Structure 1
Amino acid sequence: MLLVMGDSLSAAYGIEQGTGWVSLLQARLDGKARVVNASISGETSSGAAARLPDLLGQHEPDIVVLELGGNDGLRGLPPRQFETHMADMIEASQASGAEVLLLGIDIPPNYGRAYRDAFTGVYTRLADDYDLSLVPFLLEGVVLEDGLMQSDGIHPTAAAQPQILENVWPILEPMIEEELNHG
């Protein structure tokens, strides 16, 4: 069973519910594994960290996918604070017996290079420190492509969702196979 903890990028913000990448993932798994999407638009790492323990107890996931950070970054929250919340969620997930997959994001250039580097560096550090699988940039091949971003420039369109799943799948599939074979 997979638990996706994310923000609007995983909650299918601004598009039809069934067209988001998490719904496409569930369809691709074709009943082999269940997916619980606990993503909420506007979610921050601190909100997710507060909700995660109950979700771990309720669903007992084999894999926890953490897709968070966008709202922390857009609000200019300290990268250190973001890293602490993410580390807490990784540790709680691992303590419950789940594997963790990190999905990295980037924030707009107008936040300045130093802040962006500090922010995106959190994902790499956490992946290294906890020996986690990492998708470095969830929206690779999406952000700069015509028609793949909504007019707000932040949220992907329905047409972008298959590409987002393709960004996640090569890293997630072996994790799922491992769980199915040894779960």
Structure 2
Amino acid sequence: MLALLFALQAMAEPGRILVMGDSLSAGYGIDLEQGWANLLQEKLRDQGYEQRVINASVSGETTTGGRARLEKLLTTHSPTLVILELGGNDGLRGQPIKIMQSNLAAMIETAKSHEAQVLLVGIQIPPNYGARYADAFSDVFPALADEYELALVPFLLEGVALDNNLMQNDGIHPKAEAQPILLDNVWRVLEPMLAQSGSK
């Protein structure tokens, strides 16, 4: 009887969206409420969706750190969807591509084992890391999306990364003014997923 009550309660609760990212999703250098993940919560509400956004992003996070944290987050929050935005710090530290790809694959499989959909968010690194490394890095995201049949945001910073007016002085992190563009990049892919699942 208790199991049935818990099941009914879970069905009645709004879905949760877990954002698993690094500084690009944690709002580095800006007020937290200005970040795209916080703007996503407002967008969902304005569009009539009931999902609650849980932003578990951590500045400086690597795929290794995210992989270590994910299981507990999934167990604690039981999200219906995971937005996976990690890998940038692996690239900036010159970590082996195979390790990053293996970690992301493990996180995708872990999320799926908890019956959560995954939206994979791609990122690119500056070309000064070498064209061969930068290209191999960028190729990881569409390759994983194809392998696991995932929705993919090709590049989170599309329309932002090359605009100095939208980037902080470090050339890596977007300003507050850029956050609505980041949200649009995510929303274009996320909204069809929500509509298909009948989440309203």
Corresponding residue number in structure 2 for 1:92: 110
Please give the alpha-carbon distance, in whole angstroms, between the structure 1 residues aligned to 2:41 and 2:137. Answer: 30
* Correspondence 1:91-170 to 2 at 5 A: 91-170=109-188
CA 1:15–1:81 in 2, change beyond 3 Å: closer, same or farther?
same
Corresponding residue number in structure 1 for 2:67: 49
Deviations 1:81-136 (A, max 9, x none): 00000000000001110110011000011001110111111101100000000011
2:164–2:171 Cα contact (<8 Å) kept: no
- Aligned-partner SS, 2:76: helix
Please give the alpha-carbon distance, in whole angstroms, between the structure 1 residues aligned to 2:126 and 2:69. Answer: 27
| Structure 2 unaligned spans of 5+ | 1-15
From 35, 50, 56, the counterpart of 1:32: 50
Corresponding residue number in structure 1 for 2:31: 16
| Structure 1 unaligned spans of 5+ | none
**CA shift for structure 1 position 176:** 1.8
Q: RMSD value over aligned CA atoms?
A: 1.2
Normalised TM-score (structure 1): 0.97
Normalised TM-score (structure 2): 0.89
CA 1:148–1:112 in 2, change beyond 3 Å: closer, same or farther?
same
Please give the alpha-carbon distance, in whole angstroms, between the structure 2 residues aligned to 1:174 and 1:67. Answer: 19
